[in-house]
Amino acid sequence: MLEALQTPGSTDWFVNDRFGLFIHWGLYSLGARHEWLKSREKMDDETYQKYFKYFDPDLYDPKLWASAASGAGMKYFVVTTKHHEGFCLWDSDLTDYKSTNTPCGKDLLTPMVDAFRAEDMRVGFYHSLIDWHHPQYVIDNCNHPQRDLIPNKSGEVDGMIAQAGGDTAAKSSAADGDPNQGRDQAKYAAYLHGQVRELLTRYDPVDVLWFDFSFIRDELLRNDFSQGKGREAWNSEVLYPMIRELAPHIVLNDRLDLPSGGGWDVKTPEQAQPRSWVHVDHEGAKVPVVWEACQTFSGSWGYHRDENTWRSTRQLLTTLIDPVSKGGNLLLNVGPTGRGEFDSRALDRLAGMGEWMKRHSRSIYGCTQAPAEFACPQDCRLTYNPDTKRLYLHILAWPYKHLHLDGKVWSDRVEYAQLLNDASEVQLGMDHWHAKQIQGEGDILTLTLPQTEPLGVEIPVVELMLK
């Protein structure tokens, strides 16, 4: 059994619970065309101000959100306290750019935290390191809405520029002076630290802290914040010990640009499913780490009215099972509307996932990658609960009556098998007449399945009890 690298945060609950809800909610919900719209459309503060002026989520009821998430089988949530636009969902003492000053007039975070805690869910905060509104934040030529004003000193191109939809040619300096004049990134970093302190003390205990994100394009230009931003821009080396002091057990993600083996607890691959358990280089070896995939229902994190690439419930369940079979978690995102509701498509998928989880959560909670000797058959995903010593075979494509498990270990170790949805026995072995017709028998254990897959079960699971 693989064991993940030990880090300071308490990740035991995290790797047990496996499934969380990500919430991206802010002023961009009104634009309803991606949470990066300010950057993509290169809007200035004045143009973006209309969203602040009209932000009024009158239908917001966090109890409904929490119950939809808990009903889906989610055990924790991570909400954008502030996204890159800089707008804050709580009543921060350090800014006026917050929900209490919009027509909604309310602190939106406190009732959310209360509602999710009432559903027994753990509390996580996504907090943007990037801030496209703060007056001290140095304008960069990577993803900032005003990036066209900043010359490119390295000439390199990376994904962040592409994501922002920026042009890649070197830009000329603003004719009328330096747009960064009067901006002091250190003052912004102090603001960032102050807000983190506020969040960790006011909402103590916070279980997860999820920063987003660092972007260094050229190592030689680390200290030029107009060219990229990493630990120097956030003053991460000071921020990190402060977090550990205020919340020693918090589960912290990996985007502060601090080195491996210190400075984070969880790796967070985004919008891509890793092919195997996520590893890092540590003391000269590749070691597995605690990790969490984050994914959306469709192609945007913030509410996107016209985005139609929604995944089906079945696809989303695969998106959950797959990381667990590789020792990881899933943080699945919803972008509530500007009126404060979950999109009906999100509610539909959450309900569908909950229907499956009601009977199959045993193959998710407390589970991890199966020991290597149990080779996973084609079109399946295997998870394993080390406490109960049960294996879970998730069948993604229903086979023709027989499912063959290769290797002697299967017949040596499996004592009993059943379908998880109804605890109906799955017989071990196959009859002689069938056996003599299949090729390459070798050491196999054959499961004799019903001819057709169980009705109404999105992804059938066989539970295998080991001796």
Residue type, 292: E
Q: Show the tokens assigned to 133.
A: 């509104």
Size of site (CB under 6 A) for ligand GLC: 8
Q: Show the tokens assigned to 13.
A: 């609950």
Q: By CB under 6 A, tell whether 137 contacts ligand GLC.
A: no
Q: 């509410």: which residue's tokens?
A: 303
- Which is closer to ligand GLC, CB of 229 or CB of 381? 229
Q: By CB under 6 A, tell whether 37 contacts ligand GLC.
A: no
Question: Cβ of residue 236: shortest distance to ligand GLC, in angstroms?
Answer: 17
Question: Cβ of residue 467: shortest distance to ligand GLC, in angstroms?
Answer: 42
Question: Cβ of residue 406: shortest distance to ligand GLC, in angstroms?
Answer: 38
Q: Pick the closest to residue 459 from 398, 402, 378 (CA basis).
A: 398
Report the run of H or E that residue 382 belongs to, with start and end.
Answer: strand 380-385
Residue type, 128: S
- Which is closer to ligand GLC, CB of 301 or CB of 374? 301
Which position among 7, 20, 35, 37 is part of the footprint of ligand GLC (CB under 6 A)?
35
Which residue's Cβ has the minimum distance to ligand GLC?
Answer: 270
Half-sphere exposure of 169 (CA within 13 A, CB side): 3
Question: Cβ of residue 336: shortest distance to ligand GLC, in angstroms?
Answer: 14
Question: Cβ of residue 154: shortest distance to ligand GLC, in angstroms?
Answer: 21
Q: 């079945």: which residue's tokens?
A: 314
How many C-beta neighbours within 10 Å does residue 358 have?
Answer: 12
Let me know: does 311 contact 349? Beta carbons within 8 Å: yes
Question: Cβ of residue 39: shortest distance to ligand GLC, in angstroms?
Answer: 9
Q: Show the tokens assigned to 315.
A: 């696809």
Q: Is 428 helix (H, G, I), strand (E, B) or coil?
A: strand
Residue type, 448: T
- Which is closer to ligand GLC, CB of 87 or CB of 410? 87
Question: Cβ of residue 89: shortest distance to ligand GLC, in angstroms?
Answer: 14
Residue 200 and residue 210: Cα distance in Å, rounded? 12
Cα separations in angstroms, 458 against 70, 356, 359, 395: 19, 7, 11, 10
- Which is closer to ligand GLC, CB of 290 or CB of 420? 290
Half-sphere exposure of 363 (CA within 13 A, CB side): 31
- Which is closer to ligand GLC, CB of 55 or CB of 301? 301
Q: By CB under 6 A, tell whether 294 contacts ligand GLC.
A: yes
- Which is closer to ligand GLC, CB of 65 or CB of 301? 301
Q: 């990996």: which residue's tokens?
A: 254
Cα separations in angstroms, 296 against 87, 253, 360: 21, 18, 22
Question: Cβ of residue 212: shortest distance to ligand GLC, in angstroms?
Answer: 5
Question: Cβ of residue 380: shortest distance to ligand GLC, in angstroms?
Answer: 29
Q: By CB under 6 A, tell whether 270 contacts ligand GLC.
A: yes
Q: Which of positions 187-246 make contact with ligand GLC (CB under 6 A)?
A: 212-213
Cα separations in angstroms, 7 against 188, 196, 204, 222: 29, 21, 21, 27
Which position among 116, 188, 301, 410 is part of the footprint of ligand GLC (CB under 6 A)?
301
Q: By CB under 6 A, tell whether 293 contacts ligand GLC.
A: no
Q: Show the tokens assigned to 352.
A: 């569908």
Q: By CB under 6 A, tell whether 41 contacts ligand GLC.
A: no
Q: Which of positions 140-179 make contact with ligand GLC (CB under 6 A)?
A: none
Interface contacts to ligand GLC, rule CB under 6 A? 24, 35-36, 212-213, 270, 294, 301
